[in-house]
Structure 1
Amino acid sequence: MDSLLTLRYTMAAERTGGVLCPVGPVWRRLRTTNPEIELYQPDNSHPSMAGTLASAYSFYSVFFKDDVMNLEITTPVLPEQAVAIRNAVQEVVADSLSAAYRYDKVLRADFIGDSGKTSTDTVHFTNLSRHASGYVWDFGDGTTDTAASVAHIFPSAGEYTVCLTAYNSCDTAKICQTVIIGVSSVDEAHSRQLAGYPNPCSNVCYIPSVASGTPYRIINALGVEQLRQTTSGSTGIVVSHLAPGLYFVMIEQPDGQKQVIPFSKW
């Protein structure tokens, strides 16, 4: 029965762009792992308090994308049964969040910037937003635009916070990214440039002669910030999460000097 319900709800979600909550699979897991928990009332039609609790935890996990293990709800359900229900929800729902949202039409704002050459003042921004009907760009230099994807000319070299607001009839969403214009200024810093090793690196890049706690940022070849952090005692920068390519570590020393260290990730 729950398999048929799952199929029908999946078909409905696909047609309407809805979000799926895997209550049926959670119940199936409980019937397998904890058959002593009665999920139905005596009429075998309506859910018992335990069955309702399983549904409630499932909906909470899907809607808030949050851990339910420490979420306690006061109910007549025995404490040990409540723990078993939370365990089942955690195992089933946490593993299927992407499936739960595969048909949703939740508004999302997203974009990437491609300057072509790192020294250029023109950046092409590609809009990756979903389920939006309109857009507002704020380029951080006092100018805006309402096109979907745009090519923008920045007035001068420097750091700009570019924000994209996407909207539809129900909601608005906003995302901001830092864009560095004139990354060719790396050449001007070579006279006082530090060297990182190994280069290329795959997991950790080490930078000697940098004090622990020194702020640094990693930007890609397009000038988009990838990471903002402070150095640890080992001056090792973890880069395993970065995609292969060319990056720059931008360090601001305690005396105010800014140094740029290029490295390749493979």
Structure 2
Amino acid sequence: MRYKLIPFLLLTGSLHAQQTSVLFIGNSYTYANDLPNTLRQLALSLGDTVTVASSTPGGYQFVQHANYAPTLTAIASQPWDHVVLQEQSQLGALPFPVTTTQASAAQLVDTIRAHEACSMPVFYMTWGRQNGDDLNCPDFPFMCTYQGMQDALIANYTALAEENDAFVAPVGAAWSQVRALHPLIELYSGDGSHPSPAGTYLAACVFYCTLFEESCVNATFNGFIDAATAAILRGIASEVVLDDLTAWNLDVDDVDASYTSSTNNGWNAITYTHGGAGTHLWTSSDGQSYTTPDATFVFSAGGSYTISHTYTDPCGNSDTETWVREIVVGVEELEHGMWYRVYSGVPGQLEVRGLRGGEVLTLFDAQGRSVLQKQLSRSAERVVCLPGMYFWRVNDERGNFTSGSVVVR
């Protein structure tokens, strides 16, 4: 996630405070009741700091923002952790082929990442009009009702997030839940379109949960609504966002520290490969440590060794994987002075390098069944195979062999 942790102790028992920066790009749906500042104050009540700025001319569309000097200046003003993108309320629900939404969204995302590769775009899923959209109803019947419009907004914003490797803040999905479960909470202003103070507060709650991937139920800031209503909205926002992070593409920036392949080099040595462009820390319980993309552990005695790999990508997202490796003394694996590199560089293909020619590659599935055997004649070979986890063994012409595992993408 793109936020920083600051050591801090709150009376509520929180062990850390967090901070992030957010630029809002949108229109009156964003500036009504000052959504950016509402989010800032909500986060502050939870001990977190959110720096906000906005470019929100009334009625503006993605296509206008993409070439609007103040928006472009705001994007370039600092390396934002998150940039929120909100389309004009009706266009966001219409089919992509009849609007500029899809192309303009991609243009904005490219601009954001050209300035700061680690900025995360966040698509602001808005809500359907209270009684549907009369203007577009004749040409698009699904726009005639709130639910039809809402369903289209959910589908379109989710698609935009997936296409652009971005987050989606599911305000519209939470809005739908509030309408269904608490119909007396008025989320709309008098025009049946813009948010009321309660609607803006709900949006701020959804954004907090989206950006920090944490619940906001313990917030003490209630905005301009009563405490009981605020508590209901915080609960619904937290549930909608956190019950399924993948539904809102919030796992798009997750990193995986799992090794992609391993190679046994004799009975007591094993090389693990990850290959990520970030920073690495490999450790084992006997004190070995490495900071390279690949790590070769050499063990002096048999036994169980705990191995750990922490990977941090160039944007600061981290993951740690830990596993146990059993080293058995006396396993007959002859040294042949040569290491093979077996990896999946292209989806659906396995690459083998470091060959002398004449070796035989055998692949086994997770149940140990042989699924492929191939004579290798060149110094590097590619083998087509289905995605999945495989164990491999390469035998040379002298009877020596090297084995390991690999994940084919």
Q: TM-score normalised to the size of structure 1?
A: 0.54
Q: Deviations over 1:44-71 (max 9, x none)?
A: 3321211111112112223333233322
Residue 67 of structure 1 corresponds to which residue in structure 2?
A: 215
CA change 1:183–1:72 in 2 (3 A) is farther
- Structure 1 residues 67, 183: closer, same or farther in 2, change over 3 A? farther
Q: Once the 2 structures are TM-superposed, how far is the Cα of residue 82 of structure 1 from its aligned partner?
A: 1.4
- Aligned partner of 2:152: which letter? L
Are 1:171 and 2:316 counterparts?
Answer: yes
Q: Which residue in the other structure is 1:46 paired with?
A: 194
Alignment of 1:252-263 (within 5 A): none
Gapped regions of structure 1 (runs ≥ 5): 185-266
- Quote the residue 2:228 is aligned against: 80
Matched, 1:56 2:204: yes
Change (3 A) 1:26 1:160: closer
Alpha-carbon distance between aligned partners in 2 of 1:91 and 1:37, rounded to the nearest angstrom = 18
How many pairs align? Answer: 179
Shift of 1:17: 0.8
Q: Is 2:280 aligned against 1:136?
A: yes
CA distance in 2, matches of 1:66, 1:103: 14
After TM superposition, give the deviation of residue 181 of structure 1 in Å. 4.9
Residue 80 to residue 144, structure 1, CA distance change in 2 (3 Å): closer
Aligned residue number for residue 121 of structure 1? 268
User: How has the CA–CA distance of structure 1 residues 113 and 121 changed in structure 2, closer, same or farther, with 3 Å as cutoff?
Assistant: farther
Aligned AA (2:290): T
Distance 2:253 2:224 in 1: 37
Distance verdict in 2 for CA 1:89–1:164, change over 3 Å: closer
Q: Which has the higher contact order (CA 8 A, sep 6+)?
A: 1
Counterpart of 1:12?
160
SS in 2 for 1:125: strand
Indicate yes or no: 2:177 matched with 1:29.
Answer: yes
Aligned to 1:154: 299
How much has 1:79 moved relative to structure 2? Answer: 1.9
* Cα separation, 1, equivalents of 2:301 and 2:203: 56
User: What is the root-mean-square deviation of aligned Cα atoms in Å?
Assistant: 3.6
Please give the secondary structure, in 1, of the residue aligned with 2:308. strand
| Cα 1:105/1:64, change in 2 over 3 Å | closer
**TM-fit CA distance, 1:43:** 3.1
Gaps of 5+ in 2: 1-148, 330-409
Contact 1:165 1:173 (C-alpha < 8 Å) held by counterparts: yes
When normalised by structure 2's length, the TM-score is: 0.37
Identity of aligned residues (%): 26
- Closer, same or farther in 2 for the Cα pair 1:39/1:104, shift >3 Å? same
**C-alpha displacement at 1:25, in angstroms?**
1.2
Cα distance in 2, alignment partners of residues 175 and 102 from structure 1: 19
CA gap 1:115/1:107 in 2 versus in 1, 3 angstroms: closer
Distance change in 2, residues 1:114/1:13 (3 Å): same
User: Aligned pair in 2 of structure 1 residues 102, 58: CA closer, same or farther (>3 Å)?
Assistant: closer
User: Residue 66 and residue 115 in structure 1: after superposition, are their counterparts in 2 closer, same or farther (change >3 A)?
Assistant: same
8 Å Cα contact 1:166-1:174 kept in structure 2: yes
Task: From the superposition, tell whether residues 91 and 145 of structure 1 become closer, same or farther in structure 2 (CA, over 3 Å).
Answer: closer
Q: Which amino acid aligns with 1:138?
A: W
The structure with the largest alpha-carbon Rg is: 2
Aligned to 1:20, the other structure's residue is in SS state strand
